[in-house]
Structure 1
Amino acid sequence: MSERLFIFDTTLRDGEQVPGCQLNTVEKIQVARQLELLGVDIIEAGFPISSPGDFNSVIEISKAVTWPTICALTRAVEKDIDVAAEALKYAKRKRIHTGIGTSESHIKYKFNSSKDEIIERAVAAVKYAKRYVEDVEFYAEDAGRTDNEYLARVVEAVIKAGATVVNIPDTTGYCLPDEYGAKIKYLMENVGNIDKAIISTHCHNDLGMATANTMSGVINGARQVEVTINGIGERAGNTSLEEVAMIVKCHNNIDVQTNINTQKIYPISRMVSSLMNMPVQPNKAIVGRNAFAHSSGIHQDGVLKNVQTYEIIDPKDVGIDDNAIVLTARSGRAALKHRLTVLGVDMDQDKLDKVYEDFLKLADKKKDITDDDILVLAGADRSMNHHIKLDYLQVTSGVGVRSVASIGISISGEHFEAAASGNGPVDAAIKALKKIIDRQMVLKEFTIQAISKGSDDMGKVHMQVEFDGQMYYGFGANTDIIAASVEAYIDCINKFRK
């Protein structure tokens, strides 16, 4: 019988560390509930001592889900552990995840310490956490660059102190798959009490090897994997949950099994992408727009004759329905609600009515309504409570003429208007907006993304603005890319408005 591979999801902790991807507590609960339906074993809900928001999120997620273990991250510091334990008080199953850096560079430069002292601190942290919970996970930060012999000493010591899970992170994404696999194998063979704990992988994707390293770890004895939806995370991201789940499903020779309901993968992928304003690259494995698309004539011919000639995964296995309801301007609320449910979004009748009104307006503008369009509409209500709102925008532009924009906005219910010329329609619109919002803002990043391929498609704009030494991220979506740009800029302003 296959051994159980535990899925530890850190979308709401490590995944949320991506700049501009922060979620509020309500949105985190929404994701957590979908992770429960997906079949995730452990949800890392946050780093409680880092902020009041994280502390509150761990509390509320603990209340919202039933069977997954709720995990809270800490440093090897007693105050961190105290706060984590308090945040976990409502969790049905609770885990404290504590640890410390073990690599030569961390010991020398980060902690100005010694190897023996680090082991003492690691053991003390585990013992202290054990006072609050039975399930304690220890992470050896930068284990990927830690000497194997010393790492084995650390692992043996923390297991003896009571750690039930030991996490071996490739924190910098440096390891090659054979190196990481050999590290796990070394621990399995050289730690005397290794049978008393589960070894976990936590791999970053800096060199594009996170999933490969994770699977190498599993093949060599790891029985927990730390992953995120869509592979999001700090820098280049984390190991992708959907990739690991489908590798295990497709390869019978890897003698492990997960609890993941793979048909829930696509809906939660789109939900996380929408809530975090983090587009999924079209060629992303499993959940990308092109993951099951065939453009080559040879491939098309083969797939038409037998789908298995070029597809190793049935799209339905990851929740992509070939027979999905096509939404048009003639679709009713029931059809829209059904599609939202398929995409992992539940809403009450009042909210559905508002989204349906916006849906009809969009459907009158474009031929095909995509899942991304629907998710953008479903998330649009997040701007309803903004103090600053766009009332109208009119732009004149063309070849050989200077663009001119006229704009009207409401600030806490009071209407303001301005006009300006600029080097192109977007520049003109932003300058007109700046005449009303007189702040010293610097535009640092401006990204436009078309959701699909049509000229009538809804465009997404991601924007980064610097104000008063801080970075703020904004998001806008509209069939008019100029309007989307202005909405993204206003979204930034709403976040730093005092």
Structure 2
Amino acid sequence: MNDRLFIFDTTLRDGEQVPGCQLNTVEKIQVAKQLEALGVDVIEAGFPISSPGDFNSVVEISKAVTWPTICALTRAVEKDIDVAAESLQYAKHKRIHTGIGTSDYHIKYKFNSNREEIIERAIAAVKYAKKYVEDVEFYAEDAGRTENEYLARVVEAVIKAGATVVNIPDTTGYCLPDEYGRKIKYLMEHVNGIEKAVISTHCHNDLGMATANTVNGVLNGARQVEVTVNGIGERAGNTSLEEIAMIFKCHKTLGITTNINTTKIYPISKMVSSLMNMPVQPNKAIVGRNAFAHSSGIHQDGVLKNVQTYEIINPTDVGIDDNSIVLTARSGHAALKYRLEALGIKLESEKLDQVYQDFLKLADKKKEINDDDILVLAGADRAANHHIKIDYLQVTSGVGVRPVASLGLNIAGEHFEAAASGNGPVDAAITALKKIINRQMTLKEFTIQAISKGSDDLGKVHMQVEYNGHEYYGFGANTDIIAASVEAYIDCINKFKDKVL
């Protein structure tokens, strides 16, 4: 059996389905190039039929990336497959990923169909995709809850129709690890012609078992894993790329190898977190802030005597430099450029100068600049072309004093001012903002997160606003949490389908 494990990354498709984490085409290309450098075998670039933006992203990623296979998702619908094939026209290596639900839940309630008809539709979709590309992957959606004997019939039929890869998704994250492993083993033992296709895992983390299920799938014969950077994805997320890569690197006796350059894991983790405005939890395996931190005295003593007493991974193996340059107000362009490039971001000279000036302003307020800070600074230009910008913000508040905010906005070159009081400084500032914008907006979600532990660090604010029947997500980052809150609200407004004022 081939012990080479193929890494199929779906950060730009399944991962991007997280509300508020959508990327534009330029940002997707940035991530795709980093995925190529990381060594992933397949990049699922999007679902082309879903929107013109997704279609264009698949086209442009196909042009930008050289050696990985570029994959486009479809339903078992001819029009979907036509559009996917068109979007892949520039890909050097192309794959169409088509499929249909196979569990009784999907067959009965989603399709109002029967098992035999589903097999016919599956075969037809694979044969139709095969007219466009040689490499066709079939997904049996909700395979985790599909009865094994029927699933084996579906898999055998699509392989006979020409599928080169068959994806066995635990779509709802329902399976237990042993159960999912037995499912893969059953297919390996009962499907005629299974050797003609690669069996793939695609596990979700609803019960916190995505990685365990994926590993069990591999140990029972799967040789492709579908993963995302930082484990992002719908609901509780997908199997984490970095966890799978490091599990098989650490457990060399299993004999499973990947093409992943693990030293590039941390930089792409930070890039995806920053571009998608989705912080990595501090205790996240491999890439979390505390992944290599030791606070217990007993642990510290052991690590000082021999690092292997409490660390099974060398931080440098995942791209974390123990001797990284510390950035302060005295650091120059070269130090900033070095740290940005270590995080996977290369800037032109003019853009670097702009970021450096913002860096100096922030460094005057902080004792030390961390990676999250400079990633926010490097991405700050995304707001440069916003329709609405802050001219000034002044807030008065204190014990026994009702907070009052004065706000000035630049809206498409015109200047507007307003003042308002509120239940707190943030409420006062946003009330002043609403006076200027004069739209019926409902704040649905408001989350404040400090990037790290210091009182002088950047704070991140995530917001969700409902307007005119649509929901919009915004993001702000500032050492002043009130300013960050207003920036996040304005970010929402700048995304409205109709321009304000």
Q: TM-score, normalised by structure 2?
A: 0.99
Alignment partner, residue 475 of structure 2: 475
CA distance in structure 2 between the aligned counterparts of 1:351 and 1:49, rounded to whole angstroms: 35
Q: Equivalences for 1:383-398 in 2 at 5 Å?
A: 383-398=383-398
Alignment partner, residue 62 of structure 2: 62
CA distance in structure 1 between the aligned counterparts of 2:254 and 2:399, rounded to whole angstroms: 61
Secondary structure of the 2:409 match is: strand
Q: Return the offset for 1:183.
A: 0.1
CA distance in structure 2 between the aligned counterparts of 1:253 and 1:223, rounded to whole angstroms: 17
Q: Equivalences for 1:110-259 in 2 at 5 Å?
A: 110-259=110-259
Q: Return the offset for 1:254.
A: 1.9
Secondary structure of the 2:136 match is: strand
Alignment partner, residue 319 of structure 1: 319
Q: Return the offset for 1:2.
A: 6.8
CA distance in structure 1 between the aligned counterparts of 2:354 and 2:416, rounded to whole angstroms: 25
CA distance in structure 2 between the aligned counterparts of 1:413 and 1:230, rounded to whole angstroms: 40
CA distance in structure 1 between the aligned counterparts of 2:298 and 2:335, rounded to whole angstroms: 36
Alignment partner, residue 297 of structure 2: 297
CA distance in structure 2 between the aligned counterparts of 1:46 and 1:255, rounded to whole angstroms: 32
Residue identity in the other structure for 2:320: I
CA offset digits 1:388-444 (Å, max 9, x no partner): 001111000011110000011100011111100000100000000111000000001
Residue identity in the other structure for 1:48: P
Secondary structure of the 2:252 match is: coil
Contact 1:2 1:255 in 2 (8 A): no
Secondary structure of the 2:253 match is: coil
Residue identity in the other structure for 2:211: T
Asked if 1:352 corresponds to 2:352, the answer is: yes
CA distance in structure 2 between the aligned counterparts of 1:4 and 1:222, rounded to whole angstroms: 10
Alignment partner, residue 260 of structure 1: 260
Alignment partner, residue 80 of structure 1: 80
CA distance in structure 2 between the aligned counterparts of 1:84 and 1:96, rounded to whole angstroms: 7
Cα distance change, pair 2–130 in 1 and its aligned pair in 2 (3 A): closer
Residue identity in the other structure for 2:162: G
CA distance in structure 2 between the aligned counterparts of 1:351 and 1:52, rounded to whole angstroms: 29
Q: Return the offset for 1:255.
A: 2.1
Alignment partner, residue 435 of structure 1: 435
Residue identity in the other structure for 2:436: I
Contact 1:170 1:202 in 2 (8 A): yes
Alignment partner, residue 49 of structure 1: 49
Q: Return the offset for 1:120.
A: 0.3
Secondary structure of the 1:434 match is: helix
Identity of aligned residues (%): 86
Residue identity in the other structure for 2:9: D
Alignment partner, residue 403 of structure 2: 403
Alignment partner, residue 100 of structure 1: 100
Residue identity in the other structure for 1:169: P
Secondary structure of the 1:360 match is: helix
Secondary structure of the 1:86 match is: helix
Alignment partner, residue 18 of structure 1: 18
Residue identity in the other structure for 1:155: V
Work out the number of aligned pairs and report it: 498
Secondary structure of the 1:215 match is: helix
Residue identity in the other structure for 1:99: G
Q: Return the offset for 1:333.
A: 1.1
Residue identity in the other structure for 1:453: K
Alignment partner, residue 273 of structure 2: 273
Asked if 1:457 corresponds to 2:445, the answer is: no
Q: Return the offset for 1:350.
A: 1.4
Asked if 1:287 corresponds to 2:297, the answer is: no
Q: Return the offset for 1:253.
A: 2.6
Secondary structure of the 1:420 match is: strand
Secondary structure of the 1:257 match is: coil
Contact 1:461 1:485 in 2 (8 A): yes
Contact 1:2 1:257 in 2 (8 A): no
Gaps of 5+ in 1: none
CA distance in structure 2 between the aligned counterparts of 1:196 and 1:232, rounded to whole angstroms: 31
Alignment partner, residue 31 of structure 1: 31
CA distance in structure 2 between the aligned counterparts of 1:190 and 1:446, rounded to whole angstroms: 51
Secondary structure of the 1:4 match is: coil
CA distance in structure 1 between the aligned counterparts of 2:255 and 2:329, rounded to whole angstroms: 49
CA distance in structure 2 between the aligned counterparts of 1:24 and 1:349, rounded to whole angstroms: 23
Q: Return the offset for 1:165.
A: 0.1
Q: TM-score, normalised by structure 1?
A: 0.99
Alignment partner, residue 488 of structure 2: 488
CA distance in structure 1 between the aligned counterparts of 2:474 and 2:349, rounded to whole angstroms: 28
Residue identity in the other structure for 2:135: D
CA distance in structure 2 between the aligned counterparts of 1:334 and 1:471, rounded to whole angstroms: 42
